[in-house]
Structure 1
Amino acid sequence: MTSPEAREEAVLEAVRERRERVNEAIPEELPIQRPERLYEASRYLLDAGGKRLRPTVLLTAAESLLDVEPLGTDYREFPTLNGNRIDIMDAAVSVEVIQSFTLIHDDIMDDDDLRRGVPAVHEEYDLETAILAGDTLYSKAFEIMLETGAKPDRSVEALNVLATTCTKICEGQSLDVTFEERADVSPDEYLEMVEQKTAVLYAASACLPAILLGADEETVDALYGYGLDIGRAFQIQDDVLDLTVPSEKLGKQRGSDLVENKQTLITVHARDQGVDVDNLVDTNDVEAVTEAEIDDAVAQLEASGSIEYANTTAQDLVAQGKERLEVLPDNEARELLRDIADYLIERGY
């Protein structure tokens, strides 16, 4: 049996290989043009890096559907199930562009100064330019998706998925904001919120190649479900890491979600167990909280079984997501999708 460490390294190598291809494609699909400042700001976070997990899921799902050698087929001339060829890389870039759009607007809403180790777009440029850059990325994602060359009915369905995904992301973000003012959020409500805010883009990434390549509805639905499951697990793992990974490795204050009163599956469960979540730390200032205070808070959350509950929920979601992959051919790419699912809950930060 492959160890988690070996599996993680294999996944990271596979992601690196596909990330390199995506990184080469981004300037082609989103060149710097007039007005230069707008497009420089739009490209800023894309050029700053990122794992490219969502486009990796998309490209890998396409490889599995066609049972082609991973990385051995030109993504710009990708075969379909109907014998035509399309540009599946355009779809991969499109979902990464949507991801970047959401990050720019998230940083504005949260007044975060840093992203991916560099100043946030609104800090590097200005608030007005950042808003326009996010809006530009949003619209460009649809333009890029239209360039795949897929059959018209398939393109329309792909655009519908992308549009619905963007709507749900906004709905999820709105729920997240309102949850900060509530002390009665249930685990089901939390899972609904992260499904919309985070998981739907993984779901779109997984199912879009099936739509564009001409797969049947069962396959599209199964891949969409896989993306929802692993996307929710991904966010739950982020909640756990925020409490358990040292600040220097996180790149931000450990426990910042707790200090800022963000609802997570951990705090929702702990409140149900009678923990006074609102008073686990004595300050609302992230910079003022001490490591000792976070240690004490984590100890209480562990004692209530809430961190274990979050871990178990994430594991169950990943197991469910991997079962959905049975609709795909049994090949190396399908196994990589399974390993990606495991990586999302086994990763460090």
Structure 2
Amino acid sequence: MDSSVLPNSLSSWKDPLEATVSQRLAKIEPNSLGEAIRSACKGGKRIRPLISLWFGAAHGVDRDSSLGVACLTEWLHNAFLIHDDIQDGDVWRRDEPTLWKSHGTATALNAADWLLSAVYSEITRLSVEDSVRSRLLLAVSDVHRRTVEGQQLDLGGRADSQFQLSDYERLVKSKTGRYLALGMVCAAILAGFDDDCVNSLWRVGDQLGPAFQIQDDLLDLTPEKGRGGEFGNDIREGKPSILFAHSVQSASLSEAECKRLVDIMALPRVETSASEVEECIGLFQKAGSIDFARGEAKSRSKTGLELFASISGLSGEVLQEFEMICTYMTDRSR
């Protein structure tokens, strides 16, 4: 099987998920808000809800509950993307204009607020014991808080010449790690997994989430793979990626080259030229940061798989399917 293609264990859930997303978002008033929300939730890989559905089905979670948990991860994800795009000034998302660009900033913010409220509505509608609902609320609210904190670290680290790999580690685990594991954790709670198993799944996310993000960062450097076909968006935004953190620490770059890298990253997005993006990529290459990032993505994916395999009670089939998911995370081309 082509490891750059979504594994069948996940792709088999795409149609039920799309049908549920469409049904949930069909009747939102006023219509202008509904249109904006549906636009924000259109497309995307939906990797988080698909992993949640796969894990829930493998452990006996009923279909309706699994789909509810999958939806809450998708609502949270899209709400964060709307906020990120506004903060970053991004004009493309999933090869279409970002929501603030197509519907205006005010409506975009309203759509994100609605989606955040829908996250918690999904938990209230589940037919579960209060103790289970309490565990779900704690998990979701913790990820909500951590992701916002991670985004603030991201904003504070932009074009920062003192930004270190240790700073990146803190940022990416807050913003991406727990966030990716949330769907599996919620499914595990519904399936009756104890806290030790749940904590192990969080640790899996701490490895697999960054691996997924690093692959996104690498794809952003590739023409026709970036957002809206435009590459180097993270450079234009001055984002403190693993590439930037490694480069500014690299002994392979001179002091002048490090300063030039930081100066390019500090430019306003609209003033960053294509040649400056290419220059920055060249500095990443000279510093060995691209090869370093590829190695980190592979290593973290492998560690995530090993942590997953250490969880008691998982079947051989589940382990095999998760291995394919981990490989997809670092081999995908989109």
Q: Same fold (TM over 0.5)?
A: yes
Give the aligned partner of residue 302 of structure 1.
285
Give the aligned partner of residue 3 of structure 2.
7
**What is the deviation of 1:201?**
1.4
Question: Given the alignment of the two structures, is residue 60 of structure 1 paired with residue 54 of structure 2, yes or no?
Answer: yes
Alpha-carbon distance change, 187 to 156 in structure 1, aligned in 2, over 3 angstroms: same
Alignment of 1:18-167 (within 5 A): 18-46=13-41, 48-66=42-60, 75-76=63-64, 87-167=65-145
Given that 1:61 and 1:334 are in contact with CA atoms closer than 8 Å, whether structure 2 keeps it comes out as no
Look up the equivalent residue of 2:326 and give its one-letter code. A
Q: Spell out, residue by residue over 1:64-118, the C-alpha distance to the aligned partner (whole angstroms, 9 max, x if none).
A: 334xxxxxx9612xxxxxxxxxx22100111101111111111111122222122
Alignment of 1:214-293 (within 5 A): 214-243=192-221, 245-247=222-224, 250-274=227-251, 275=253, 276-280=257-261, 284=267, 293=276
Give the aligned partner of residue 320 of structure 2.
335
**What is the deviation of 1:258?**
2.1
Alpha-carbon distance change, 252 to 286 in structure 1, aligned in 2, over 3 angstroms: farther
Q: Spell out, residue by residue over 1:267-324, the C-alpha distance to the aligned partner (whole angstroms, 9 max, x if none).
A: 1111111433442486836566565554443333223221121122222211111012
Match of 2:45, SS state, is coil
**Backbone CA RMSD of aligned residues:** 2.3
Given that 2:159 and 2:240 are in contact with CA atoms closer than 8 Å, whether structure 1 keeps it comes out as no
Give the aligned partner of residue 330 of structure 2.
345
Look up the equivalent residue of 2:230 and give its one-letter code. Q
Q: Spell out, residue by residue over 1:96-155, the C-alpha distance to the aligned partner (whole angstroms, 9 max, x if none).
A: 011111111111111222221222222222221111110110011100122221221011
**What is the deviation of 1:225?**
1.4
Match of 1:112, SS state, is coil
Alpha-carbon distance change, 189 to 133 in structure 1, aligned in 2, over 3 angstroms: same
Alpha-carbon distance change, 278 to 93 in structure 1, aligned in 2, over 3 angstroms: farther
Given that 2:68 and 2:122 are in contact with CA atoms closer than 8 Å, whether structure 1 keeps it comes out as yes
Look up the equivalent residue of 2:233 and give its one-letter code. S
Alpha-carbon distance change, 35 to 294 in structure 1, aligned in 2, over 3 angstroms: closer
Given that 1:54 and 1:205 are in contact with CA atoms closer than 8 Å, whether structure 2 keeps it comes out as yes
Match of 2:78, SS state, is helix
- Per mean C-alpha deviation after superposition, the further-off stretch among 291-300 and 131-140 is 291-300
Given that 1:64 and 1:334 are in contact with CA atoms closer than 8 Å, whether structure 2 keeps it comes out as no
Q: Spell out, residue by residue over 1:142-172, the C-alpha distance to the aligned partner (whole angstroms, 9 max, x if none).
A: 0012222122101111111111111111111
The unaligned stretches of length 5 or more in structure 1 are 67-72, 77-86
**What is the deviation of 1:40?**
2.2
Alignment of 1:166-181 (within 5 A): 166-181=144-159
TM-score normalized by the length of structure 1: 0.86
**What is the deviation of 1:264?**
1.2
Look up the equivalent residue of 1:222 and give its one-letter code. S
The unaligned stretches of length 5 or more in structure 2 are none
Distance in 1 of aligned mates of 2:287 and 2:273: 22
Quote the sequence identity (%): 25
Q: Spell out, residue by residue over 1:252-271, the C-alpha distance to the aligned partner (whole angstroms, 9 max, x if none).
A: 43223223322111111111
Alpha-carbon distance change, 294 to 121 in structure 1, aligned in 2, over 3 angstroms: closer
Give the aligned partner of residue 318 of structure 1.
301
Give the aligned partner of residue 79 of structure 1.
none
Distance in 2 of aligned mates of 1:169 and 1:151: 27
Distance in 2 of aligned mates of 1:250 and 1:129: 22
TM-score normalized by the length of structure 2: 0.89
Given that 2:20 and 2:67 are in contact with CA atoms closer than 8 Å, whether structure 1 keeps it comes out as yes
Alpha-carbon distance change, 289 to 112 in structure 1, aligned in 2, over 3 angstroms: closer
Distance in 2 of aligned mates of 1:343 and 1:94: 23
Size of the aligned set, in residue pairs, is 326
